[in-house]
Amino acid sequence: MQERTRNMATAETLETIYGLIAPINRKGVELKPASTFAVDLELDSLTVMDLVAEIEDEFDIVLPLNMLPDLETIEQVADAVEKIVSAG
């Protein structure tokens, strides 16, 4: 029951990203769309950048470094990914 009215990232995109986060989720935090990388997952900025590289390869897109400051939660990343994928 997610209360999301816009930028609906699909469950499939979210699941794919959860899968990429799993190996670095050392504390076993429960992954939710609203989970934040810095606070909830306690990932440092370098780890986040490596995760971004994995996401880029998984979806075959470019997620520019410039976008990272705006992507704080898993859902924000999923939305950004879908937007870039659909822009082709």
The CB density around residue 41, as the number of other CB atoms within 10 Å, is 20
Q: Which is nearer to another protein, 2 or 45 (CB)?
A: 45
Q: Is 44 a catalytic residue?
A: yes
DSSP code at position 21:
H
Q: How far is the CB of 63 from another protein (least distance, A)?
A: 9
- Stretch binding another protein (CB under 8 A), from 2-10, 18-26, 46-54, 70-78: 46-54
Residue from 62, 70, 86, 87 in contact with another protein (CB under 8 A): 62
Q: What SS3 class is residue 17?
A: helix
Residue tagged active-site, from 40, 44, 70, 79: 44
Residue closer to another protein (CB basis): 12 or 50:
50
The phi-psi region of residue 54 (left if phi > 0; otherwise alpha if psi is between -120 and 50; otherwise beta) is: alpha
Are the C-beta atoms of residues 56 and 20 closer than 8 Å to each other?
no
Catalytic residue ranges: 44
